[in-house]
Amino acid sequence: MEEHPLKEEGRSIRSSDPCILVIFGATGDLTARKLIPAVYNIGKEGLLPTNFACVGFARREKSHEQFREEMKNNISEFSRTKPLDEPFYNAFQDKLFYHQSQFDDDDGYKRLKEFLDQLDTQLKTKGNRVFYLSVQPKFFPLIIEKLHKNGLIYDKDDERWSRVIIEKPFGKNLESATNLQENIEQYLDEKQIYRIDHYLGKETVQNLLVFRFTNSIFESTWNSKHIDHVQITVAEDLGIEGRGDFYEEEGLLRDIIQNHMMQLLTLVAMEPPATLDADSIRDEKVKVLQSVRAYEEKDFTESVVRGQYGAGFAKGKEVIGYREEEEVAKDSVRETFAALKLNIDNWRWSGVPFYLRGAKRLPKKVTEIAIVYKKAPGVLFDPKNELETNVLAIRIQPDEGIALKINCKVPGQSNTIQPVKMDFRYGAYFGKSPPEAYERLILDCILGDSTLFARADEVEHSWEIMTPILDYWEKNPPKDFPNYQSGTWGPECADKMMEKDKRKWRIL
Amino acid sequence: MSATVTPDKIEKKLSDIWDELKMTGQMRACLFNLVLFNPLSKRTEYIKKMSQKVLEKFPCRIILVNHDPDRKELETKVSVIPQDDTEGSVVCDFIEITTGTKDLEKSSFLLLPHLLPDLPIYILWADELDLNNPIYQRIKDQNIRTVFDSECTKDLCSFAKSILYIGCDVADLNWDRLESWRNLFVLNFQPKLYLNDLKKAENIKIEYNCCKTDFFSNTRIQALYFQLWLADRFNWEFVSGSKEKMTFKKEDGSSIDFCLRSSEIKDHKPATIISIQIESGEKTFEFVRSEDNFDQVIFKVTTKTTCDIPTNFFIEKSHEGQSLVKEIYYKGTSKHFISMLNKLIKLPKDCVC
């Protein structure tokens, strides 16, 4: 490709093609809290294409003006940058439009096409499209089919481009994910599909690759020779927050572990990619998933545990149990806690278990990856094997940062040894409001960069690992639910799983 | 509050201040060393504001060297500066050295022990570039990145030659101040059709704010840089001209005229570009700052018979220190900048200064 004479690599703005972003589910919570504030902030940073429009597509009747007014309020409330920049918003709102239609109404899509064509003429958006499906997964195939049928999806050879962003969950198990994939690949090429996992848009998650592959001190010890085990925790202090319907259907394994946590695992465990392009990175991530040892029958009881929260306390207030939540069955067996031990059978990780723990209603909200190193030989200072091991803790949220636990001598005449923490906090060095994950991801999609989106085979392999667990759970309902009190670190069986391996969960 | 200390007590005093702050929950952080060399003048306030802006974005240790030529005594002060006024905020070290010309050599030795090891060193040189200055000499061999402000120079040609001679990582704030405009051109001339129009342009008029202040008097530099950037990008060679109007020859033998027009707009930042008009065949491309909002640029393309719907852009609000903050994001010297300077030094002197 010929180089643009005015562009300077590494210094000029990443310029993008003109386009229109169409958000399906424009009256939903995600649009209000995340998507529109993200588009607004991308615009404020001057990173949106020159010729751009954003069209909200939803079922409710609404005028452009009403939509703009609502979005203004949402941006004021939810944008990371405050207060609302009125002069900027006044110009930005001219690019916001609303289109009312049912998702299954062909006429609605015809009208949408006409409207987008009209905007193309008016705003010179050149026919390029991003369709963001912020809707329930059951509508994905329908909307994609209708878009295709009505000429809104282009062939890959077309000069114009059309891309579709799909929100998780991508399927409910291996079979449904495969079906969904087969369904949408009738209409879309893989390069047109952007499966969003907002964890990948987080600065600290992206920093994982930088941290690993630019610091030789860590990468040279990043293997089974030095590392005892890895713990990945995604803990929420919140309950299901009115999403009883969704949770009864999905559960925690599907909600958090199959996607977010497996993405974290692949980034921690992958080999250095040949290059930083999307496929090189995703190829390496897939290799990790392919190396995860399949569970045997005994593993479902020994290496996997589940739990459900009962009543307890959160943030000093009494809270109800999962079964008392709205839209939840009184005898529900849906899990709100899951912990697994995974083994990666490759050269680097042989014998290093990865422990994953995800849950609702734990004592605090925290996402952390902990690399727990092997003990130093105890010959000199630790004959009783009492010293703590080094731990490299990568905090994804909140208080993003990296901490290293090391042992030090306590000053004085005795030889007392005490662990201390070397702590690096992102906020202290780079400010407290990094760009929201959705900003990065929407912009990347507009730019055609799919590095931070999940590829079909990543999703498929992840389901291959999780589906046998779901099947086992389905056939063997738990008898002890609820088995942990809200505000505690989970059920006893999770601790026992670790104790069996002579290890402990980290107290975070 | 800054405390005057003797040069040998700088670190001790900082340590004492930190001991006092221990209970307040404030955090000491530092990403790099920032050395500011500044001739003591009305502009000192501007330089201090700029350093404060850098610090708000990135915690760093600031060492400000004020040069007051006739001063007899060397003075050293220390203080700590919070990034913001919130509780538990990050606080940074600030060392201020005020020196006369006779103590410049001595001051240069004062700098070295106070540079925090293992962290990058950035220098903002807010004075004429004198490669023999003892301060510059002393720190040039450290692993540094020097940011100049061509605003401080009286002879832009010599300045450009010196920069090209230095050979280490450099930047110029006046170049950085143009970044939004360069990006605006990258964005708008992305379509091949428009880019070809730009290459074939016959006339380009650049209007800039010539209103001077205590901090800015070389108000033409940014417009000149922008003109030369375009000329350099398309290999246009200087033929003839004056400060206000220059003619360049294009690769196909045709010519293009540049006109730098000054306008006085008191309420806005001096030296900034106000509008750019490009005439190419039948088309006219216009970028004009909005009268209602100076941070908004309206872009329109017109021909004798058609007029496109204007597009609005928000270019970043300019404030003190923003250019320096941005320069810290980058590594290496901008190739476009160096190439542009090579163009500049070939211009007749009376076209530049």
The hierarchical CATH code for the domain B3-173 is: 3.40.50
Determine the average pLDDT of the residues in B167-192: 86
Q: Residue window 30-89, chain A: list those with CB within 8 Å of chain B.
A: 43-44, 46, 49-51, 87-88
Q: Give the domain B179-317 fold.
A: Dihydrodipicolinate Reductase; domain 2 (3.30.360)
Residues of A in contact with B27 (CB under 8 A): 425, 428
Rounded to 10 degrees, what is the CA torsion of A347, A351, A352, A357?
Answer: 120
- The secondary structure element, H or E, covering residue A418 is strand A417-425
Q: Give the domain A200-435+472-500 fold.
A: Dihydrodipicolinate Reductase; domain 2 (3.30.360)
Identify residue B292 by its one-letter amino acid code. D
The span from the CA of A241 to the CA of A243, in Å, is 6
Residue indicated by tokens 């920032």: B34
What is the SS3 string spanning B73-98? CCEEEEEEEECCCCCCCEEEEEEEEE
> Which ipTM did the prediction report?
0.86
The span from the CA of A64 to the CA of A53, in Å, is 12
Radius of gyration of chain B (CA): 23
Write down the domain spans for chain A: 19-167, 200-435+472-500
Confidence of residue B321 (pLDDT cuts 50, 70, 90): low
Quickly count: other Cβ atoms within 10 Å of residue A155's Cβ. 9
- The secondary structure element, H or E, covering residue A442 is helix A437-447
Residues of A in contact with B309 (CB under 8 A): 122-123
Mean pLDDT for chain B? 88
- Kindly tell me if the per-residue pLDDT of B87 is higher than 70: no
Class assignment of domain A19-167? alpha beta
Identify residue B243 by its one-letter amino acid code. K
The span from the CA of B34 to the CA of B114, in Å, is 11
The minimum CA-CA distance between A6 and chain B, rounded to whole Å, is 6
Please name the residues in contact with B153: beta carbons below 8 A apart, sequence gap of 6 or more. Answer: B128, B129, B159, B218
CA–CA distances in Å: residue B142 to residues A343, A493, B34, B134, B146: 48, 58, 13, 14, 11
- Kindly tell me if the per-residue pLDDT of B46 is higher than 70: yes
Angle between helices A262-269 and A203-214 (to 10 degrees): 20
**C-alpha closest to that of A172 among A246, A230, A237, A98:** A246
- Tell me the HSE value of A297 on the side-chain side, using a 13 A CA sphere: 1
pLDDT at residue B36, rounded to an integer: 93
Is A122 near chain B, with CB under 8 Å? yes
Give the residue on B whose Cα is nearest the Cα of A15: B187
Residues of B in contact with A425 (CB under 8 A): 27
Residue B277 forms beta bridges with which residues? Answer: B205, B286
- Residue A239 backbone dihedrals phi, psi, to 5 degrees: -90, -145
The minimum CA-CA distance between B113 and chain A, rounded to whole Å, is 23
Write down the domain spans for chain B: 3-173, 179-317
Contact B294, B268 (CB under 8 A): yes
The span from the CA of A51 to the CA of A482, in Å, is 54
Q: State the best of B312, B315, B322, B343 to mutate against chain A, taking most chain A CBs within 10 Å.
A: B312
Question: Annotated catalytic sites of A, by residue?
Answer: 260
The span from the CA of B130 to the CA of B166, in Å, is 11
Fold matches, B3-173 and B179-317: no
Q: What is the pLDDT of residues B19-42, one digit of tens each?
A: 888 777 788 888 899 999 999 888
Greater pLDDT, A418 or B323: A418
Q: What is the pLDDT along chain A (508 residues), one digit of tens a residue?
A: 567 899 888 777 777 788 999 999 999 999 999 999 999 999 988 788 878 999 999 999 999 999 999 999 999 999 998 899 988 898 899 999 999 999 999 999 999 999 999 999 888 888 999 999 999 888 999 999 999 999 999 998 888 999 999 988 889 999 999 999 999 999 999 999 999 988 888 888 888 999 999 999 999 999 999 999 999 999 999 999 888 998 999 999 999 999 999 999 999 999 999 998 889 999 999 999 999 999 999 999 999 999 999 999 998 899 999 999 999 999 999 999 999 999 999 999 999 999 999 999 999 999 999 999 999 887 788 888 788 899 999 999 888 889 999 999 888 888 888 889 998 888 888 876 778 899 999 999 999 999 999 999 999 999 999 999 999 999 999 999 999 999 999 999 999 999 999 999 998 8
Greater pLDDT, A72 or B130: A72
How many residues are there in chain B? Answer: 353
Q: What is the pLDDT of residues B213-247, one digit of tens each?
A: 877 778 899 999 999 999 999 999 999 999 899 99
Determine the average pLDDT of the residues in B78-92: 82
Give the residue on A whose Cα is nearest the Cα of B226: A6
Who among A44, A87, A429 is closest to B293 (CB)? Answer: A87
pLDDT at residue A136, rounded to an integer: 87
pTM of the predicted model as reported, rounded to 2 decimal places: 0.84
Q: Do B57 and A431 touch (CB under 8 A)?
A: yes
Who among B90, B316, B332 is closest to A46 (CB)? Answer: B316
Is B295 near chain A, with CB under 8 Å? yes
Residue A353 forms beta bridges with which residues? Answer: A343
- Of A102-106, B163-167, B291-295, B319-323, where does the model show the most confidence? A102-106
Is A11 near chain B, with CB under 8 Å? yes
The span from the CA of A6 to the CA of A385, in Å, is 63
The span from the CA of A64 to the CA of A17, in Å, is 24
The minimum CA-CA distance between B188 and chain A, rounded to whole Å, is 7
DSSP assignment letter at A374:
P
